[in-house]
Chains A and B, each alone.
Chain A
Amino acid sequence: MISFSGVAKRYPGGQEALQAVSFQIEPGEFVFVAGHSGAGKSTLLKLIPAIERPSAGAVLVNGQNVGALKRAALPYLRRNLGLVFQDQKLLYDRSVYDNVMLPLAFGELGGREAARRARAALEKVGLSARDKANPIQLSGGEQQRLAIARAVANRPAILIADEPTANLDADSASAILGIFADFNRVGVTVLVATHDEALIGRFARRVLRLAAGRLAQ
């Protein structure tokens, strides 16, 4: 479960990115975070893996106050979250397969099990045949699918995506959202930030709408 309670975020320059944001997301939910550019969507998502810390209020993930976590505890929090970014954040000096193996190298898994999970993740996003390719050789939609494969390789309970379809055409965007919906169907909590109202319209899910750092609904 994800819970925001009176959360505010003020950046060092004084910019108020979020103000008094409160909501709850139950396990297995699929939630859109909508709003215009600069509404605070990215800041809201960054508070969950503690990339940013709240200036006020509490962010709870599975009952854990992530804003109060010590630096050493952050990797263990992040291993339980699948993170997907608009710019994918892939390693372009490694193969598709090695990118997916990256989060599996941190954990306790044996080499064989890690390889099995990586192949399963690539299979789920339809990139099995491109495992030896360099990410630079992939299309924008394929790169985003690779980012999803890396995010789900560790089988996280929560999948968080920040504008995952921003640079994609409508078909690719729908395909990416379809993959998220597939993971949601097997119990993964999905939180997707997007400014694409048409896409939100195609997937009838709960929407948290942000405007100027405040929750509109």
Chain B
Amino acid sequence: MRAWLRQHRQALAAALGKLAAQRSAAALNALVIGIALSLPAGGYALLASLRAAAAGAALEPQLSVFLRMEAKDGEVEALRAWLKGEARVREFRFIPREQALKELQATEGLAEVIAALKRNPLPDAFVVRPRTTGAAALEALARALRAQPAVAHVQADSAWAQRLAAIAGTARLAIALLALLLACGLVAITFNTIRLQILTLRAEIEISKLIGATDAFIRRPFFYLGALQGAAGGLLALGILWASLAVLNSGVAELAASYGSSFRLGFLEPGDALAVLLFSTALGWFGAYLSVSRYLLEIEPQ
């Protein structure tokens, strides 16, 4: 066990030595990997920020039922009873016109406009969450609500949120595809780097085999080299992402402030950042594994 650990320590030291000996080439490789990985990582961070910003929005379909201004209390109560007994309604809540006005006044930029009004122009309303979310079922329920005597207008509120969710889903898929393609690129870069290393060290490998080195012993430094290169690329990707977000956020802050928002593009969560690092390390190792499996067997002592 101690010998095994010592051999791993030596392999790691040998890999670090090779990286140090070829600083420029290693740095360029890591930079290429870093830039490639920063693209999907950045896309993921952007989506996460937008998801957090949209968290308050209702993604479930809901119907806003505006009542006639002249609706009598009895008609409102009849509608409440109808909603209570309607199987297609999961839940509903009543929003009195005074509360609706208060909420509107709280909206940035509208306070002065509302204050200028002589009377409250808003009607009482019910917000209804249906049990079924299909478009046809939603429309049928809206039709039934419009037929109620107290109802003036029915509006489906969640269409935009559903579209946003669909766009986010498509973007997530695109980012996953991009990540897959760039991961293949990372593997190819590591594969080629290790191939060149193997060819450069052909004589040493041949001598090592001749005097009793196992394949595992010879492979190990190359695995560490691939993994270290992947890890360096992952670290650079995180650095590039952090710097890019810092630059972008100065513009985003200005734009968000004009909407009265404090929205900022956030960096990856610690777990996600760690996942990027582990992923890039694993891909580097995998590239080295493919290269070593392909080329090491070809070298035999003569």
Give the interface of A toward B (CB within 8 A).
Answer: 49, 51, 71-72, 74-76, 78-79, 83, 89-91, 102-103, 105-111, 150-151, 154
- A72-B215, A91-B204, A105-B10 are contacts. A49–B210 as well, Cβ < 8 Å? yes
User: Measured between alpha carbons, how far is A76 from B211 in the docked complex, in Å?
Assistant: 9
Q: How far is the CA of A102 from the CA of B209 in the complex (A)?
A: 11
A110-B2 contact given A51-B302, A91-B204, A105-B10, CB 8 Å threshold: yes
Q: Is the CB of A154 within 8 A of B212?
A: yes
Q: Does B260 contact A (CB under 8 A)?
A: no
- Other than A109-B3, A111-B6, give 14 A-B pairs with Cβ distance below 8 A: A71-B215, A75-B209, A75-B214, A76-B212, A78-B212, A89-B207, A90-B207, A103-B211, A105-B7, A106-B208, A106-B214, A110-B2, A110-B3, A154-B212
Interface check B213, CB cutoff 8 A: yes
> B109: CB under 8 A from chain A?
no
Q: Which residues of B contact A106 (CB under 8 A)?
A: 7, 208, 211-214, 217
A75 and B204 in contact, given A105-B7, A110-B3 (Cβ under 8 angstroms): no
The residue of chain B having its C-beta at the shortest distance from the C-beta of A105 within the complex is B10
B201-235 CB mask vs A (1 if < 8 Å, else 0) is 00110111111111101000000000000000000
Contact partners of A71 in chain B: CB under 8 A: 215
CB contact under 8 A between A83 and B217, given known A51-B301, A91-B204, A108-B3: no
Which residues of B lie under 8 Å from residue A107 when comparing CB positions?
Answer: 3, 212
Q: Taking CB as reference atom, which chain B residue is nearest A156? A: B212
Q: What residues of A have a CB within 8 angstroms of the CB of B203 in the complex?
A: 89, 91
Give which listed residue, B207, B212, B301, contacts A91 with CB less than 8 A.
B207
Chain B residues whose CB sits within 8 angstroms of the CB of A83 once the complex forms = 210-211
A51-B301, A89-B207 in contact; A75/B2 too (CB < 8 A)?
Answer: no
Chain A proximity of B215: nearest CB distance (Å): 7
28 pairs, A vs B, C-beta closer than 8 Å:
A51-B210, A51-B300, A51-B301, A72-B214, A72-B215, A74-B209, A75-B212, A75-B213, A75-B217, A76-B212, A78-B210, A78-B211, A78-B212, A89-B206, A89-B207, A90-B207, A91-B204, A102-B211, A103-B211, A105-B7, A105-B10, A106-B213, A106-B214, A107-B3, A110-B2, A110-B3, A110-B6, A111-B6
Q: Which residues of chain A have C-beta atoms less than 8 A from B209's C-beta?
A: 74-75, 78
Minimum Cβ distance to chain A for residue B118 (Å): 92
Contacts of A90 in B (CB 8 A): 207
Nearest to A94 among chain B residues (CB) is B204
Contacting residues, chain A, for B6 (C-beta < 8 A): 110-111
- Complex-state Cα separation, A125 to B283, whole angstroms: 47
Shortest Cβ distance from B297 into A: residue:
A71
Contacts of B7 in A (CB 8 A): 105-106
Q: How long is the Cα–Cα vector from A89 to B206 in the complex, in angstroms?
A: 9
Contacts of A49 in B (CB 8 A): 210
How far does the Cβ of A217 sit from chain B's closest Cβ, in whole Å? 29
A105 cross-chain contacts in B, Cβ below 8 A: 7, 10, 217
| A97 to B: closest C-beta gap in Å | 15
- Nearest chain B CB to A23 CB, angstrom units: 24
* Residues on the B chain within 8 Å of A102, using CB: 207-208, 211
Q: Report the Cα distance A173→B151, complex, angstroms.
A: 113
The closest CB in chain B to the CB of A80 belongs to: B212
Q: Which residues of A contact B206 (CB under 8 A)?
A: 89
Give Cα A90 to B207, complex, Å.
8
Interface pair A79/B210, CB less than 8 Å apart: no
Q: Mark B3-16, 1 if CB is under 8 A from A, else 0.
A: 10011001000000
A111 and B3 CA atoms in complex are apart in Å by 9
Contacts of A108 in B (CB 8 A): 3
What residues of chain B lie closer than 8 Å to A111, measured between beta carbons?
6
- Judge whether B212 and A79 touch: CB under 8 Å: yes
Q: How far is the CB of A139 from chain B (nearest CB, A)?
A: 21
Query: Which chain B residues (1-46) contact chain A, with CB distance < 8 Å?
Result: 2-3, 6-7, 10
Whether A103 touches B212, Cβ cut-off 8 Å, given contacts A109-B3, A111-B6, is yes
B9 to chain A: closest residue by CB: A111
Select from chain A the residue with minimum beta-carbon distance to B6: A111
Residue on A nearest B213 in the bound complex, by CB = A106
**Bound Cα distance A85, B2 (Å):** 32
For A79, list chain B residues within 8 Å (CB).
Answer: 211-212
Contacts of B215 in A (CB 8 A): 71-72, 75
- Closest residue of chain A to B300, judged by CB? A51
Interface-centre pick from B7, B210, B211, B302 (highest chain A CB count, 10 A): B211
Task: Output the residue of A51, A76, A106, A109 with the most chain B CB within 10 A.
Answer: A106
With the chains together, A107 CA to B4 CA distance in Å? 9
